[in-house]
Structure 1
Amino acid sequence: MASYEHKQLAQYLKDVHSNLRISAVTLGAKEAWARHCKNKDALLTYAEYMEKLATVFWEENYGNEDSSATSRIQWSVELCNDYFIKKEFVKFSAKDFEISKKLNIQLSHKESFTETLQLLDVGSCYNPFRSYNLFNVLAIDLCPANQYVKECDFLNVHIGKETIVHENIIKELKQKSFDVITFCFLLEYIPSSDLRITACENAYKLLKPGGLLIISTPDSKHVGANCKLMKCWQYTLACLGFSRIRYEKLKHMHCIGFRKALHKDVAVRWATIHKKPFMDFSIHIPQDHSKLEHHNTTIPNIDISPDDFKHLPFSDL
């Protein structure tokens, strides 16, 4: 069972997410996000709490299947090893070329990855990927928890011809320069579907052709509970130019690997063929549909149950 401090830290994070979503309803998502980004004290507290949860409490469960914090990182590393090192990308590339012929598209891009993979870890907090030699990591967050992370608002960062860092702040990110981009427990932080789509659009611009976007999102329910929601995610990412290459529902989260297709229309073809009536162009999370009981932007004092944090580093945010 989680300790009192563990639960208190996790509850703070949960409340920050909840109040950001409420602010998005009352103020509009963009305005709510802008105000949130200016609240440096709250961001610093969030970063400190997140790092402590990860490096103190989550480490106790390292290697345990109940540890979402560690397994999401390991899942991402294993996918990258299979895709890049074991060259699984070759079969997906062949499929892109096969589909392109059916669409009468002349592909001008082929995969070209660096030996040490260029990884952009968005919403990194404390840069958990830095211990892996497989990657050259650029870790970014609204408020870095340590010196290994750069400050950056990924939703509003300028994407251009080079990556520019000034005094530990990202001023510009170079387009088509990353082999891998990770969104580990990021999208549920962002307060609206439109802004989550913006994050994925930016990832598309920054990835090399054939590069990977890896997403993990918490969900402790059984595999079928939110399957339609996950299908909508797949449909939306396909419309943006991503092909889903791996999906796994672990005990407390979804882990998804998307490949940037060599031509956007290759992925769009899947969306066109497989669209179901319930699918729409959106990236919703279950909490978007929850009843909003608080209409203020302060952090409320909410009673919590130990069961809420029995397994997850923080309850399904």
Structure 2
Amino acid sequence: MKESMKKETHVGLQPIRVLKHNLTARLENRSKDLIKLLQHNSKLNKYISYESFDEPLINGQKPYIDKDGIIHIHETFLSYLWIISFTMFVLYEEAVAIPDLIKRNIQPPKSQNVELIKLTEELFDYAKSLVRVFSKWDTEYFPNPEFFDRSSDEGFYIERNNDLYVEAMNFILFHEIAHAEFEHIKKKNVKRLNNEELKEMELEADSRAINLLLKEYRSKNLSDLSIIVGLASILFCGQNLSGGNKHPDIDIRLENALQIINPADDSPVWAFLVLFIKLWDKQFSHNFIENSEYDSFKAFYYELITQAKKL
């Protein structure tokens, strides 16, 4: 039976509101000293602005930090990111891991849930629609963190995805904190920085955020995946890898992250990356060539990203 997780303290428009306090609680627990230092030095504001608007991502609904050190996060983006991480989690487990075990004549821990795969794909379509058009999350029909049945497969993935989502948002919040720590906003206002210098700042913030996240983690595997989710989720906002004038291309940001994370060749990070590229390929009909002879997801990813760079 489905039950509501909403409490009176959960303020907002979308079901993602029930995880609002989880984001800041985990962030403060793992980096209390750094945050206090930055706040003491007036680099980081104590207040994180949680904003709820009926607006799509393209209407300024992505995270950012302003000149006063206030980090702004928006429910549309938070909803988008939760659904992206949920999609990757479910598709990895149900459409990759279970079939792989069966292929190797190993009994999987559970049977494949085809209906959940279909529902997740529909939910993923809803997430992509939020990039350009806002619409309300149908909590009666779609999986969501506010209203679900804990005993179902859907509930199993929701509760575990909540952990992945919070970790991915901690990476993103650390990215904004790094901007404050390195005084990037001040530098942009004082100096006339060219596009390459602006992109270097973003990579610097990425690197610092990754190192901060990996300095204090409960599960290295979870943290690695959360970084990939935080960066690769950008893919579904455009049909090429370009980061525009102020941000590095997505493949450059991913490669920078991979160099720091240094995942093992059999890490699920590579399978997640392949899923991201394949779903993005399907979204924009790039028609990437898939060779059936790949001996690892790592090799598969690099072949796909090489094709993506040529767009």
Normalised to the residue count of structure 2, the TM-score between the two structures is 0.34
Give the structure with the larger strand fraction. Answer: 1
Higher relative contact order, chain-length normalized (CA < 8 Å, sep 6+): 1
More helix by share: 2
TM-score by length of 1: 0.33
